[in-house]
Amino acid sequence: MAAGPRQLALALDHAESLARDDFLGGPSNAAALALIDAWPDWTHRAAVLIGPEGSGKSHLAAIWARAAGARSVAARMLEESKVPAALATGALVVEDLKPGAFEERALFHLINLAREEEAFVLLTARTAPAGWTLAVRDLGSRLRALPVVAMAPPDDALLRAVLVKLFADRQLAVDESLIGYVVTRIERSFAAARAAVARLDQEAMRQQRPLTRALAAELLRPHQA
């Protein structure tokens, strides 16, 4: 009887909670978390959050957006004509800025308008804007003037805590040997942890086997640096 509901749960997406209480902090993201928690007492009206994929930037941006009443827009979708509407709530998140993959004049207009209207802006990117080559030179100077807070990949302790939480979110109790093994077999990112947990959960159900280190050893190849 218990198998039916469990199979139904597996058929559904396990949406990750982006609530503040569900963000796990550690040395790798302490400065970024402090920035988000310090709002609205920021030294500047805009800030840049940088870090590799899977470091938690989107989670922190979502936490800040709820607190600030901010809208969110993907950088590639930002258009100059739509900047005033995007800033209508007085706060905006622009996610995943990449050099050459966004409208530079739109971002330049956004930063200027936000300053004029005393609005807040949070930008996320994988690398610091100081190293970008930009066609709009004044945009470069505007970006370099903004505070940049970096996030690093999670360390072992944080990655272990994330894995425990991800398994618990699926109502799965696992032992320390499994957690320790998985930590050494995946890249250091929250995205990799989510993918590993999902795969282990699905395979355990498909094969009707318990979630053990032995199962993980069959499914996860050693991480190649």
User: Minimal CA–CA distance to 116: which of 147, 83, 141?
Assistant: 83
Ranges of beta strands (E only) in the chain are: 46-50, 71-74, 91-97, 120-125, 148-150
Q: What is the DSSP string of 187-211?
A: -SSHHHHHHHHHHHHHHHHHHT---
Structure tokens at 189: 């990112």
The predicted pLDDT at position 19 comes to: 62
CA distance linking residue 199 with residue 150, whole number of Å: 30
Domain boundaries, the chain: 26-150, 154-219
The predicted pLDDT at position 1 comes to: 35
CATH topology of domain 154-219: Helicase, Ruva Protein; domain 3 (1.10.8)
pLDDT (tens, 9 = 90+) of the chain, 225 residues, equals 333 333 333 344 455 556 666 778 888 899 999 999 999 999 999 999 999 887 889 889 999 999 999 999 999 999 999 999 999 999 999 999 999 999 999 999 999 999 999 999 999 999 999 999 999 999 999 999 999 999 988 889 999 999 998 998 898 989 999 999 999 999 988 889 989 999 999 999 999 999 999 999 999 866 444
* 26-150 maps to CATH 3.40.630.30: no
Q: pTM for the complete prediction?
A: 0.79
